[in-house]
């Protein structure tokens, strides 16, 4: 068994969940925050059989778009401690996916 961990954009999460549940995959949605942009994203957990991993990744791929986000996250320090917002274009997504081996799966 494998655990698919997918970090997706909030806008794409519901479509991924809908398609996964329609195909009878189990999925858990976690609210998460990216370390770089400090903006909300969604982490999905799905425990699946080894031979289902490719289909799950395909569903994620189909629903997750790459977007360009302009942020003023970075600042330039000027003499006299003045901070000036520095616009930065960042490409986010489609999705970041990790596939982990599951040692045990227990349902009680």
Positions touching ligand 2BA (CB under 6 A) are 7, 34-37, 39, 41, 90-93, 96
**Of 53 and 97, CB closest to ligand 2BA:** 97
CA separation, residue 91 to residues 7, 26, 72, 86 (Å): 14, 29, 14, 16
Q: How far is the CB of 21 from ligand 2BA (least distance, A)?
A: 23
Q: How far is the CB of 88 from ligand 2BA (least distance, A)?
A: 8
**Of 60 and 81, CB closest to ligand 2BA:** 60
Q: How far is the CB of 95 from ligand 2BA (least distance, A)?
A: 7
SS3 category, 89: strand
Q: How far is the CB of 43 from ligand 2BA (least distance, A)?
A: 8
Question: Residues 6 or more apart from 100 whose CB is under 8 A from it?
Answer: 2, 3, 5
Alpha helices in 6-87, H assignment, sequence order: 10-22, 53-63
**Of 43 and 52, CB closest to ligand 2BA:** 43
N residues, the chain? 108
């Amino acid at each position: 068994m494998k655990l698919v961990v997918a970090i997706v954009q909030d806008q794409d999460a519901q479509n991924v969940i809908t398609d996964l549940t329609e195909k009878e995959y189990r999925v858990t949605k976690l609210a998460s925050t990216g370390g770089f942009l400090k903006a909300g994203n969604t982490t999905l957990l799905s425990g699946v059989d080894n031979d289902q991993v490719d289909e799950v990744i395909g569903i994620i791929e189909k629903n997750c778009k790459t977007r360009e986000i302009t942020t003023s996250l970075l600042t330039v320090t000027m003499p006299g401690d003045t901070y000036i917002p520095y616009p930065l274009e960042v490409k986010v997504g489609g999705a970041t996916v990790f596939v982990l081996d599951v040692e045990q799966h227990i349902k009680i």
